Structure 1
Amino acid sequence: MSTTTDLVVTRIFDAPRELVYRAFVDPDQLAAWFGPVGFSVPRDSVDIEAKVGGHQRFTMVSDADPAQASPIDATFTEVVENELLVGEQDISAVSSVEGAVMRLRVEFHDEPGGKTRLVLTQGPYAPEIEPMAREGWASSFTKLDTLLA
């Protein structure tokens, strides 16, 4: 029997909650920061409709080998402007599990001094994959820090 785990990342950003939220739903901003260092998101691949039943579609591409691409096609299941984004993506094509679904929950909380505490929960992950996903988000968030500065 295989076990899975959810990735949970908490990060403080030196920017108001509205600006951090906007970086997730504005196509220009998402293209500017998403993906770990060494990967980019072509702006023309980004399409976001931030509402329940809406979608977030884009392609993350390796800078070193553009043939290495990861398309994202998620559907929003919960959206509370400036507070919460929840989505899911059918990952059957890359999983051995038929009907496998990857879920992503991003919470935006006010912190003192005009900062934002972001709590990201994503999964399920196989335990051996979770550390790579954690590192990928940490690297992406370094790029987001730069965008928000």
Structure 2
Amino acid sequence: MTDTTKELVMTRVFDAPRELVWRAFTDPDQFAAWFGPVGWSVPRDTVDFDVRIGGHQRFTMVNDEDPSMTSPGDGAFAEIVENELLVGYEEVKGIPGLPDGTRLTLRLEFHDEPGGKTRLVLRQGPFPVEMAGQAEQGWGSSFTKLDALLAR
């Protein structure tokens, strides 16, 4: 029997201290400035965070060329260690290829690297195998926007 799901695992080193990378994920103003793949944006007025265990993370990505195309995110925080670990989950609705109610977990680990850099380890899933590649491309594209934000 073949496994039809996959956990996405990505590692990325950012040229910024851990506290700044953490803030990019937890501060609504910063999050709105970088999140979403190139060609998508997150209007600041759609971002609502309550960064605590049991708190929430809500936002809407909007396609830059066709604002009628949107992708809402509505997750909950399950585990938080400031500047070190964020774990949350989302029960998805309306995503082609994922049954409504599928629970996707996101785990972000923030590690110090030499030279004031940060190594981020991202784990997300489970995804159908064919969707894991799309998620990886989306994160990679988003991270190019995060690199630019952190360079300011």
Q: Shorter-chain TM-score category?
A: over 0.9
Q: CA deviation at 1:97?
A: 3.3
Instruction: Confirm whether residue 60 of structure 1 aligns to residue 61 of structure 2.
Output: yes
1:58-95 alpha-carbon deviations (Å, 9 max, x no partner): 00010011111010000000011000001001114436
Following TM superposition, where does structure 1 have runs of at least 4 consecutive aligned residues deviating by more than 6 angstroms? none
Aligned residue identity for 1:52: I
Instruction: Confirm whether residue 97 of structure 1 aligns to residue 103 of structure 2.
Output: no
Mark the runs of 5 or more structure 1 residues left unpaired by the alignment. none
Give me the whole-angstrom Cα distance separating, in 1, the residues matched to 2:98 and 2:59: 23
Q: Could you tell me the TM-score, scaled by structure 2's length?
A: 0.94
Number of residues paired by the alignment?
Answer: 149
Cα RMSD over matched residues?
1.3
Give me the whole-angstrom Cα distance separating, in 2, the residues matched to 1:96 and 1:130: 12
Pick from 129, 132, 144 the counterpart of residue 130 of structure 1: 132
Q: Is the 8 A contact 2:17 2:118 kept in 1?
A: yes
Q: Is the 8 A contact 2:92 2:98 kept in 1?
A: no
Give me the whole-angstrom Cα distance separating, in 1, the residues matched to 2:56 and 2:149: 23
Output aligned runs, 1:1-149, within 5 Å.
Answer: 3-94=4-95, 96-97=98-99, 99-149=101-151
Instruction: From the superposition, tell whether residues 96 and 138 of structure 1 become closer, same or farther in structure 2 (CA, over 3 Å).
Output: closer
Q: Is the 8 A contact 1:57 1:73 kept in 2?
A: yes
Q: CA deviation at 1:5?
A: 0.3
Give me the whole-angstrom Cα distance separating, in 1, the residues matched to 2:93 and 2:45: 25
Aligned residue identity for 2:147: D
Identity percentage of aligned residues? 64
Q: Could you tell me the TM-score, scaled by structure 1's length?
A: 0.95
Q: Is the 8 A contact 2:91 2:100 kept in 1?
A: no
Q: Is the 8 A contact 1:92 1:101 kept in 2?
A: no
Give me the whole-angstrom Cα distance separating, in 2, the residues matched to 1:119 and 1:141: 12
